[in-house]
Amino acid sequence: MKRALKVLFVVVALVAAIGAMGGCFVRAHPVAPAAVVVARPAAPPPTVVYTQPAPVPAPAPVYVAPQPVGPPPPTIVY
């Protein structure tokens, strides 16, 4: 019984060692190669242009003539 356990232990150890070294007997099919990822430089940040609205011209001052105080002068008809 002890001899059978020793043989079983050795067989399991050999299978584990060969499997750890990449033996293909453990897998039923070959492993597909890993995808190769090529690092690309990051895209530049988008250019943001901040524009100011066109300045609104100040309204032109309106000249208001001084108004006489009191009643209007009499209208003279010739």
Q: Residues 24-69: pLDDT tens digits?
A: 555 555 666 677 777 788 888 888 877 778 888 888 888 888 888 8
> Which tokens sit at 20?
């750890």
Question: What residue ranges do the domains of the chain occupy?
Answer: 1-27
Query: What does DSSP assign to residue 27?
Result: S
Query: pLDDT at position 49, please?
Result: 79
> What is the C-alpha to C-alpha distance for residues 50 and 14, in angstroms, rounded to an integer?
70
Query: pLDDT at position 28, please?
Result: 56
Amino acid at 71: P
